[in-house]
């Protein structure tokens, strides 16, 4: 006979792998098994009543099973939680796992998935096409890139203006030409591009390329990626 004649321990909720590794899905183990002699764990607490119910609250962006009824089983088969959209523009996706035993003891576990941020600015390449135009290619299409948001020229001298904003995410590549109206004169200008992540978060990481084409020196200044 054990000392406490009632179930006073809420169910255990375990998650693997370790959430600190930012897994995109986890396996959840829930049981209502406790021991009186931890860490040896040979003397089971006989008063545990088993799992009554597992349910999910405060869910943002996680796929969960429906409410699970345990029918007072000591443990239930493992189930999976997974992130709906790992590329979503957000900082966290979370769900609270609640487990209640048949005596009414409830415990909860909060699992959050930190999205992997888009830390890379767009790639901007410009090259000279003939004497009167410059071909520009902007891309933001690596694994965690969310695509381009806003591309525009600035400080244009003898250079056409370009300005475009993507309505939605998903513009991964934009190619366009810039004109030099007066072929016999020098041109100076710059192209600025920011990706969707950079435009919607406080993390600004635009790409910027400045160039000058001098008539007496037809070299264009080499483009550089700046400011991450
Ligand atoms: Ca219990
Ligand atoms: Ca990017």
Q: Which CATH architecture has domain 123-220?
A: Sandwich (2.60)
pLDDT of residue 9: 93
CA of residue 225 to ligand 2 center, whole Å: 12
Better-predicted residue by pLDDT, 114 or 220: 114
CA of residue 105 to ligand 1 center, whole Å: 6
**Residue 157 CB partners (closer than 8 Å, separation 6+):** 186, 187, 188, 189
Q: Which two tokens stand for residue 24?
A: 């995109």
Contact 37, 2 (CB under 8 A): no
Nearest CA to 130 out of 173, 178, 162, 163 is that of 178
pLDDT averaged over every residue in the chain:
85
Query: pLDDT tens digits, residue range 13-48?
Result: 999 998 777 788 999 999 999 998 878 888 999 999
Give, as residue ranges, everything with CB less than 5 Å from ion ligand 2.
Answer: 118, 120, 140, 145, 195
The CATH 2.60.40 domain(s) of the chain lie at: 12-114, 123-220
CATH topology of domain 12-114: Immunoglobulin-like (2.60.40)
CA of residue 16 to ligand 1 center, whole Å: 22
pLDDT of residue 214: 67
CA of residue 17 to ligand 2 center, whole Å: 28
Q: Answer whether residue 97 shows pLDDT above 80.
A: yes
Q: Return the number of other C-beta atoms located less than 10 Å from residue 70's C-beta.
A: 21
| Bridge partners, residue 62, by sequence | 83
pLDDT of residue 89: 61
pLDDT of residue 228: 40
């Amino acid at each position: 006979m054990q000392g406490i004649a009632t179930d006073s321990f809420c169910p255990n909720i375990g998650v693997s792998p370790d959430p600190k590794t930012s897994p995109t899905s986890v396996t959840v183990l829930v049981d209502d098994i406790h021991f009186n002699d931890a860490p040896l764990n040979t003397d089971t607490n006989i008063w545990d009543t088993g799992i009554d119910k597992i349910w999910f609250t405060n869910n943002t962006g996680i796929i969960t099973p429906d409410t699970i009824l345990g029918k007072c089983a000591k443990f239930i088969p493992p189930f999976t939680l997974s992130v709906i959209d790992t590329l979503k523009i957000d900082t966290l996706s979370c769900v609270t796992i609640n487990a209640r035993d048949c005596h009414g003891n409830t415990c909860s576990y909060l699992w959050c998935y930190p999205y992997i941020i888009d830390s890379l600015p767009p790639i901007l390449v410009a090259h000279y096409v003939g004497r009167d135009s410059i071909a520009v290619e902007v891309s933001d299409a690596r694994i965690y890139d969310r695509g381009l948001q806003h591309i525009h020229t600035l400080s244009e001298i003898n250079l056409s203006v370009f300005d475009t904003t993507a309505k939605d995410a998903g513009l991964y590549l934009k190619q366009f030409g810039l004109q030099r109206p007066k072929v016999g004169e020098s041109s100076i200008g710059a192209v600025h591009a920011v990706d969707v992540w950079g435009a919607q978060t406080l993390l600004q990481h635009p790409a910027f390329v400045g160039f000058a084409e001098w008539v007496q020196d037809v070299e264009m200044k080499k483009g550089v990626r700046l400011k991450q």
